[in-house]
Amino acid sequence: EAGVAQSPRYKIIEKRQSVAFWCNPISGHATLYWYQQILGQGPKLLIQFQNNGVVDDSQLPKDRFSAERLKGVDSTLKIQPAKLEDSAVYLCASSFQVSGELFFGEGSRLTVL
Amino acid sequence: SQQGEEDPQALSIQEGENATMNCSYKTSINNLQWYRQNSGRGLVHLILIRSNEREKHSGRLRVTLDTSKKSSSLLITASRAADTASYFCATDAGGSYIPTFGRGTSLIVHP
């Protein structure tokens, strides 16, 4: 079974530039999550999708972050404009059912200079 | 917000010893999960324990849950150098069903 795919693995940009991350969850997983993990901390939820609908985006900085999940499969997370404090690893995870085991991708490491 | 907090923050042991790490949380939960993260990698699921369960085993892993104390522990027996990683607990509370992670315990197992 193929795992959760994320790209790019690494991205370096300057502040005020934009960046986009892509995630392909495990086939058949209706629930998709984006987490932000700052060095030395645990993952912090940014947004949760159930199929192509948003379940929770209360911690997503909506003035600069946006996310979508077209057709209930792939998802993209965009940051525009980026700030220095956005430097982190962005983790995508999917699960077959709500409140079940999460399957994580390898993450996309963002460095904002 | 509901969040598990792991203790200790860091743990250093010798190969063959047991490693115990704890997770405390604040409000009632639906379930509690433990994950492992190797440096520079994504998280890997270890065990899920439901609020009506008290203990679960998986290979060298043993997880306990005490809902009266709002705490859980993860025991790794006969540790190996390959167990070196960060370990996180994740809880979901009430009707949210959204896993919320703590800061993790960094485990180093010396060969």
pLDDT, one tens digit per residue, over B32-81 is 999 999 999 999 999 999 999 999 999 999 999 999 999 999 999 999 99
For an interface test with B, which of A104, A106, A111 has the most B Cβ atoms less than 10 Å from its Cβ? Answer: A104
Q: Are B104 and A91 inside 8 Å of each other by CB?
A: no
In the prediction, which pLDDT does A19 show?
98
Question: Phi and psi (nearest 5°) for A72?
Answer: 70, 20
- Supply B16's token pair: 């063959």
Rounded to an integer, what distance in angstroms lies between the CA atom of residue A44 and that of residue A99? 16
Is B4 in contact with B87 (CB distance < 8 Å)? Answer: no
